[in-house]
């Protein structure tokens, strides 16, 4: 990287930072948001409360909720916690039935309220109105039905039907005004207005790294009908990347489907790649070389990765080296490196820069200009409920911005919610 390019990146970063400074993301707005922000500053309490939120769907009665709270929070006395929280922790020690019922209702209502910040309403009409509002403000969106790791074929089949139904509903929805002015049917003149993201483990319950070939074939069979419907209605489909153990299966399934004669001429099919994985330098090189060899345009949503805690915990349990970088600076550097490689291959690979990190975004903006990458070969993606501030700043800087919007019921999205809270409250989070 030249000194001049580095200077431009820093300048762009300062302008973006100025645009979001002194503003709080939606999760920390309002009384409950301010209380949550204070609680998250206490590391031990943060760990316990996130574990509690993860377990909430399994606590089916006020009694089980109170038993959990008493067992895990009874000793919490920290004066750094908000006084309302300290009062609540004192009250639950009395094991009063009325208090249990009131506390259970309050906790579930507040959890749902926080989850709604990050999730589109499960009601299709309300979701369409939200998307319409985003588009009026200049943002595109991609919709993901919340859910991971289907338990059994019945649950996986339900998710596949939901995605097919989602595409059907989006097809029959009142037409949205396109973004940009060059084409009445395509956003910015090149991108399908309907855009969805699929999680492999929700669609296929039999993914097993120890049975690689069968897993790839099963995933292809599960995704194919959704791709056919997407192609029929001219929609874009992303394949999300999940835990490391599914990575090679997901990449191979993407390659096979992309090269299939049925989909070969339909370029609106992309895959997420995680920069925090040590394998990604090799995987990205292999994928780009494959695309060049096959003369197949591909699309990559470049993300840092959202399963860092899971991967570190799995490595500790199995006493293996973690597949992820252990320092944030390493992941940040890898993201810039991978973005630069994709931009340099923009004729064969479309880039969706999915990051809230201001340095990373500024680097993509300036590297794209330095490499003379046309605007129609890259976009920026931010998370619904988290990325409004930085998304607006990118939009004002002339970028194409898309919101990643999970759709579903709040308690079904608990794992997603916990990851979002972790991102918002990490000590190195740019959001804060």
Q: Domains in the chain, ordered, with CATH?
A: 41-116 (no CATH), 120-407 (3.20.20.220)
d(CA 253, CA 233): 22
234-262 per-position pLDDT tens digit: 999 999 999 999 999 999 999 999 999 99
Higher-confidence residue of 28 and 260: namely 260
Phi, psi (deg, nearest 5) at residue 120 = -70, 145
Residue 78 pLDDT: 60
59-90 per-position pLDDT tens digit: 889 999 888 888 887 666 566 677 777 777 77
Q: What's this model's pTM, rounded to 2 decimal places?
A: 0.91
pLDDT of residue 333 exceeding 90: yes
Would you say 365 and 399 are in contact if contact means Cβ atoms under 8 Å apart?
yes
Would you say 386 and 424 are in contact if contact means Cβ atoms under 8 Å apart?
yes
Closest CA to 136 of 191, 177, 175: 177
pLDDT of residue 428 exceeding 60: no
Strands 401-407 and 269-274: unpaired
Please provide the DSSP assignment of 89-126 as one string.
HHHGGG--HHHHHHHHHHHHHHHHHHHHHHSB-SSHHH
What percentage of residues in the chain have a pLDDT greater than 70? 96
d(CA 110, CA 235): 35
Residue 174: C-alpha distances to residues 129, 132, 186 (Å)? 11, 10, 15
Confidence of residue 123 (pLDDT cuts 50, 70, 90): confident
Residue 352: C-alpha distances to residues 158, 174, 304, 402 (Å)? 29, 27, 12, 9
pLDDT of residue 49 exceeding 90: no
Would you say 425 and 38 are in contact if contact means Cβ atoms under 8 Å apart?
no
Residue 210 pLDDT: 96
Q: Residue 302: left if φ>0, alpha if ψ -120 to 50, beta else—which one? A: beta
Please give the structure tokens belonging to residue 16.
Answer: 């973006």
Closest CA to 237 of 210, 211, 266, 261: 266
Q: Packing angle between helix 97-118 and helix 30-40, nearest 10 degrees?
A: 90
pLDDT of residue 431 exceeding 70: no
Closest CA to 328 of 352, 304, 312, 307: 304
Residue 350 bridge partners (DSSP): 299
DSSP H or E run through 328? helix 328-344
pLDDT of residue 414 exceeding 80: no
d(CA 299, CA 354): 13
d(CA 65, CA 56): 8
Residue 53 pLDDT: 82
Q: Is 220 helix (H, G, I), strand (E, B) or coil?
A: helix
Confidence of residue 29 (pLDDT cuts 50, 70, 90): confident
């Amino acid at each position: 990287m030249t000194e001049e390019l580095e200077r431009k990146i820093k300048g762009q970063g300062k302008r973006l930072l100025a645009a979001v400074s002194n503003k709080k993301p939606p999760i920390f707005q309002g009384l409950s948001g301010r209380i949550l922000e204070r609680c998250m500053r206490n590391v031990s309490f943060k760990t316990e409360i996130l574990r509690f939120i993860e377990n909430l769907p399994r606590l089916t009665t006020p009694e089980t909720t109170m038993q959990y709270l008493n067992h895990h929070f009874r000793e919490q006395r920290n004066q750094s916690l908000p006084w309302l929280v300290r009062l609540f922790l004192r009250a639950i020690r009395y094991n009063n039935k009325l208090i249990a019922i009131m506390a259970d209702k309050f906790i579930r209502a507040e959890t749902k309220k926080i989850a709604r910040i990050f999730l589109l309403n499960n009601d299709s009409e309300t979701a369409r109105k939200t998307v319409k509002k985003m588009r009026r403000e200049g943002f595109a969106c991609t919709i993901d039905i919340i859910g991971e790791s289907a338990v059994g074929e019945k649950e996986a089949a339900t998710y596949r039907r939901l995605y097919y139904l989602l595409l059907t509903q989006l097809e029959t929805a009142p037409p949205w005004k396109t973004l940009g002015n060059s084409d009445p049917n395509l956003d910015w003149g090149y991108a399908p207005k309907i855009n969805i993201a699929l999680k492999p483990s929700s669609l296929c319950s039999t993914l097993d790294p120890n049975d690689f070939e069968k897993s790839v074939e099963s995933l292809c069979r599960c995704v194919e009908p959704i791709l056919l419907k997407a192609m029929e209605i001219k929609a874009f489909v992303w394949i999300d990347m999940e835990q490391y153990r599914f990575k090679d299966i997901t990449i191979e399934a993407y390659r096979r489907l992309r090269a299939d004669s049925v989909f070969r001429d339909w370029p609106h099919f992309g895959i997420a790649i995680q920069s925090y994985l040590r394998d990604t330098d090799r995987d990205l090189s292999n994928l780009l070389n494959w695309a060049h060899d096959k003369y197949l345009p591909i699309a990559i949503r470049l993300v840092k990765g959202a399963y860092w805690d899971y991967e570190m915990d799995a490595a500790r349990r199995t006493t293996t080296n973690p597949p992820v970088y252990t320092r944030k600076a390493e992941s940040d550097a890898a993201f810039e490196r991978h973005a630069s490689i994709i931009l340099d291959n923009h004729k064969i690979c479309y880039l969706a820069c999915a990051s809230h990190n201001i340095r990373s975004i500024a680097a993509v903006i300036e590297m794209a200009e330095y490499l003379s990458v046309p605007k129609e070969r890259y976009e920026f993606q931010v998370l619904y409920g988290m990325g409004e501030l930085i998304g607006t700043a990118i939009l004002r800087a002339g970028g194409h911005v898309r919101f990643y919007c999970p759709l579903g019921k709040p308690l079904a999205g608990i794992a997603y919610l916990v990851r979002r809270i972790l991102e918002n409250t990490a000590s190195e989070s740019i959001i804060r």
